[in-house]
Amino acid sequence: MSEPTVQGELRDTPDSWEVRGERTSFEGKVWDVVSDDVVMPDGRAATRDYVKHTGAVGVLALDEQGRVLLVRQYRHPVRHRLWELPAGLLDIPGENPLRAAQRELWEEAHHKAGDWRVLIDVYPTSGGSDESIRVFLARDLSEAEGEKFAADGEELDMQVRWFPLDEVVSQALAGELHNGALVAAAMALKAAQAAGALDTLRPADAPWPARPF
């Protein structure tokens, strides 16, 4: 069987098909649904509905014992309590993504970190949303000073625990963990460790074309 012909490097590249019409189908409290009339390669137009998202950051906090700090909270759309990374939306105008990640680590887990690097950037649902998530690797961890963040709403029910990275990976492979950012980040960290590449990960202020700052 002949191999398929693929041109170019193994990397995602920016591109944009012609858009003949764009409108907001639904305007929500956090994000909107937009509808674009896109010209396909064969010249026909097709409507593409997708969620217009602010973007988000996540933190994979790794301690010296190889444990990962996770939070557990209820997610209504999937009717589950999920173990996740400390994470949050980029919904404060002008806030740097690294600063947002540091804030989320403090708010959700009352921790700070002395070493920050970019672990992965992902489009979690590229077929239906323009959401982009940057996950930072945080090391050199310590408990934050002062009073804890005053949580409210759904965060009042949040739990915080440490788990060995190997357990997180094995539970993801067993189908017991489902949060996309957590699963992708845990696998990426494990791969980086195996390659001895933790100290060559991108710096915390590396460019992020999906959400330029």
Whether 155 is catalytic is: yes
From 22, 27, 155, 176, the catalytic residue: 155
* Per-position b or e across 85-123, b if 16+ CB within 10 A of its CB: bbbbebeeeeeebbebbbbbbbbbbebbbeebbbbbbbe
Q: How far is CA 182 from the centre of its chain?
A: 8
| Residue 109 β-bridge partners | none
Distance, in Å, from the CA atom of 133 to the CA atom of 199, rounded to the nearest integer, reads 21
Per the document, the length of the chain is 213
| Residue 44 β-bridge partners | none
135 Cβ contact partners less than 8 Å away, ≥ 6 residues apart? 57, 58, 59, 60, 85, 118, 119, 120, 121, 122, 181, 184, 185, 188
Distance, in Å, from the CA atom of 53 to the CA atom of 9, rounded to the nearest integer, reads 28
Catalytic residues: 155
